[in-house]
A and B are shown apart, each in its own frame.
Chain A
């Protein structure tokens, strides 16, 4: 029997942990952009993790969502390989794809970079979360046009039924542009 134990939601410069407001961008000025917002959240969390600054927007969004969800919780009861991460989004890595394209569009100013290119795969955000928390269990990333909680829960349940997964971080981390991004993370446990 799997139970839902923790959640985190991020959208429109607000972060909710277990449905209670955890952080919002203090400056109500609409011009405050995503970059400022997410950096503010990182600082608010007070955890030092320099790799954060190398991440692209999508990975930062997923990383902060996980950081908030786990800010008062450590999954010490489980072995690393028992913790699964299953995510989805709609826009894959659109913003970073564009950035990579910019770097290659002009043969005279051709500068593709591995540190940009690596973020052109959406499952990298799962990798970043796994690295941060030492999760070594099942991974899956899906592309769908909206967060299909029923399917994600069904898939998590199948993982639990196999007996090898005891906790599963399930969610949606999507970034299209400054006006359109969202993260929804749920922690499911046996």
Chain B
């Protein structure tokens, strides 16, 4: 507590929002997680996959209701794609929480996504007005411009497209950019959809669970895809930090396994490199960590690799979890969504049960949280890993009041 990191300027997280199957605000989503409620169900949507599949979907009726409530009279659904509507809601909620001026040159938007408006490529959307109207939004940079224009921000948004580490990486990039004199605040937002495109791909990998996923469990068989958007507002303004939040971004890092493009390393050394970088940037040691929020997708290889990485990083005795059984693997949004839940854990002093885990199923004696419980969390480590052998980690710290 009180350690200053390697960075010149302290970076604080002062507002956030999550939109996923569990709700349209961080508060709603956290309520559901506290109640051990999952948003993963079996769905029969032929347009997305020929047979029933278990996934975490944002309810379309509820999305419509929220859109109509927030953007009265703007006919948003005629001008924005489904994913963009979620981005608008999420960013709007965050802006409303602190009243920063999004139109200022001192504010930047960073967007994390793996496939953007990929629903446009669904067969069921071919020859529809939706595809005709929005086809050019498949260009993720253009999608960024559309969001920038809506909010009237003068800076070209950054679009981070780095597989499943995009969300954590975007926070790390924001923290680094806030060290320059250019920006006071950065809105970091991430989103992805459950689509015919991605689901078929994961099924081709035989990586999809026919049920609710079971991270670190002996009987785990794969992932559940999830969709949604998450947004966090980062600032160097210490006054705003005292007013709105108690969380500081301590530091982060990324790495590559340099081993395989779709399978994680067997040793976990790549992820450990990212973790060590995060520790160094945050001037924090393994001993100081109170809780680890990991990627935990529920595949055989990923979860095993993570347990090895925890061993290498001397974190085996730390309470840890994966949140994927609550709202699925949200790809580009995952790192952001899960970091926000970790921040809620820190603020409430509450460790959330790692849903889906009953029988220990990895080689290392990691401490998977089996029951939601009170616990002081001053330092939290968040990790993510993704296709292409990439890894990212970040340290969150509670600031003194």
**Does B associate with A?**
yes
The verdict on A155 contacting B50 (CB below 8 Å), with A97-B197, A123-B388, A134-B258 known, is: no
> Hey, what's the 0/1 contact readout for B166-179 against A, CB within 8 Å counting as 1?
00010001001101
Tell whether A117 pairs with B201 under 8 Å between CB atoms, given A123-B390, A131-B260, A155-B173: yes
Query: Is the C-beta of B244 less than 8 angstroms from some C-beta in chain A?
Result: no
**Contacts of A114 on B, CB cut-off 8 Å?**
201, 204-205, 262
The answer to whether A136 touches B280 (Cβ under 8 A) is no
- Whether B114 pairs with A162 at a CB distance below 8 angstroms is no
Return the chain B residue nearest A59 by Cβ: B261
Complex Cα gap A135–B254 (Å): 12
* Docked pose: A34 CA to B114 CA in angstroms: 26
Interface pick from B77-85, B137-145, B223-231: B137-145
Alpha-carbon distance between A92 and B205 when the two chains are bound, in angstroms: 21
Whole-angstrom distance between the alpha carbons of A27 and B267 in the complex? 47
Q: A120–B50 contact, CB under 8 A? A: no
User: Can you list, as one digit per residue, whether each of A133-167 has a CB less than 8 Å from chain B (1) or not (0)?
Assistant: 11111111111110000010011001101111000
Q: 1/0 per position for A109-120, CB-CB distance to B under 8 A?
A: 010111001101
A130 within 8 A of B: yes
Question: Which of A126, A143, A155 is in CB contact (< 8 Å) with B140?
Answer: A143
Q: Answer yes or no: B367 CB below 8 A from chain A CBs.
A: no
Q: Determine whether the beta carbon of B281 is less than 8 Å from that of A85.
A: no
State how many angstroms separate the Cβ of A158 from the closest Cβ of chain B.
4
Q: When each residue 192-231 of chain B gets 1 if its CB lies under 8 Å from chain A and 0 otherwise, what string results? A: 0000110011111100000000000000000000000000
Q: Which B residues touch A123, using CB under 8 A?
A: 161-163, 386-388, 390
Given contacts A136-B270, A140-B254, contact A90 B162 (CB under 8 A): no
Instruction: Write out the residue numbers on chain A whose beta carbons fall within 8 Å of the beta carbon of B329.
Output: none
A128 within 8 A of B: yes
Q: Are A154 and B180 in contact (CB under 8 A)?
A: yes
A29 to B48, CA, bound (A): 44
Q: Tell me, in angstroms, the Cα distance from A75 to B270 when the chains sit together.
A: 19
Residue of A nearest to B257 (CB): A136
Cα-based distance from A162 to B390 in the complex (angstroms): 19
Q: Is B253 an interface residue (CB 8 A)?
A: yes
Contact with A along B372-383 (1 / 0, CB 8 A): 000000000000
Counting CB contacts under 8 A, is B123 at the interface? yes
B140 and A100 contacting across the interface, CB-CB below 8 Å: no
List, in ascending order, chain A residues with CB within 8 A of B140's CB: 92, 143
B122: min CB distance to chain A, Å: 9
Given A112-B203, A124-B387, A104 contacting B196 (CB threshold 8 A):
yes
Evaluate contact between B158 and A139: CB separation under 8 angstroms: no
Asked if A21 is at the interface (CB within 8 A of a chain B CB), the reply is no
A167 vs B256: C-alpha distance when bound (angstroms): 14
Q: Are A126 and B121 in contact (CB under 8 A)?
A: no
A81 partner residues in chain B, CB cutoff 8 A: 255, 273, 277
**Other-chain contact of B258, A80, A92, A141 (Cβ < 8 Å):** A80
Q: Does B4 contact A (CB under 8 A)?
A: no
Residues of B within 8 A of A85 (CB): 256
Report the count of interface residues on A (CB-CB < 8 A). Answer: 51
Q: Are A135 and B258 in contact (CB under 8 A)?
A: yes
Give the most central of A121, A136, A151, A159: most B CB within 10 Å.
A121
If A80-B258, A164-B253 touch, whether A100 touches B201 (CB-CB below 8 Å) is yes
Q: Indicate whether A118 sits within 8 Å of B180 (C-beta atoms), given known contacts A90-B139, A92-B161, A101-B197.
A: no
Q: How far is the CA of A159 from the CA of B176 in the complex (A)?
A: 8
Q: Which residues of A contact B158 (CB under 8 A)?
A: 142, 144, 151
Q: What A residues does B242 contact at CB under 8 A? A: none
Task: Check if B254 sits within 8 Å of A139, measured CB to CB.
Answer: yes
Q: Does A43 contact B (CB under 8 A)?
A: no
Residues of chain B within 8 A of A130, CB atoms compared: 256-258, 389
**B255-A118 in contact (CB<8A):** no
User: Does residue B6 face the partner (Cβ distance < 8 Å to A)?
Assistant: yes
Given A110-B50, A112-B203, the answer on whether A143 and B159 have CB atoms closer than 8 Å is yes
A139/B159 in contact, CB under 8 A: no
Known A107-B50, A141-B162; contact A126-B388, beta-carbon cutoff 8 A: yes
Q: Taking the complex as formed, is A171 at the interface, i.e. its CB lies under 8 A from any CB of chain B?
A: no
Q: Is the CB of A131 within 8 A of B261?
A: yes
- Please list the 4 inter-chain residue pairs (A to B) with the smallest Cβ-Cβ separation, ordered nearest first: A127-B388, A117-B201, A112-B204, A130-B256
15 A-B pairs with C-beta separation under 8 A: A80-B258, A81-B273, A90-B141, A126-B256, A127-B261, A128-B261, A130-B258, A137-B256, A139-B162, A139-B165, A143-B139, A145-B139, A145-B141, A158-B177, A164-B253
Chain B interfacial positions (CB closer than 8 Å to A)? 6, 50, 114-115, 121, 123, 139-142, 144, 156, 158-163, 165, 169, 173, 176-177, 179-180, 196-197, 200-205, 253-262, 270, 273, 277, 280-281, 386-390
Q: Other than the known A123-B161, A131-B259, A158-B177, what 7 A-B pairs have Cβ atoms closer than 8 Å?
A: A81-B277, A123-B163, A136-B273, A137-B256, A138-B253, A143-B141, A145-B141
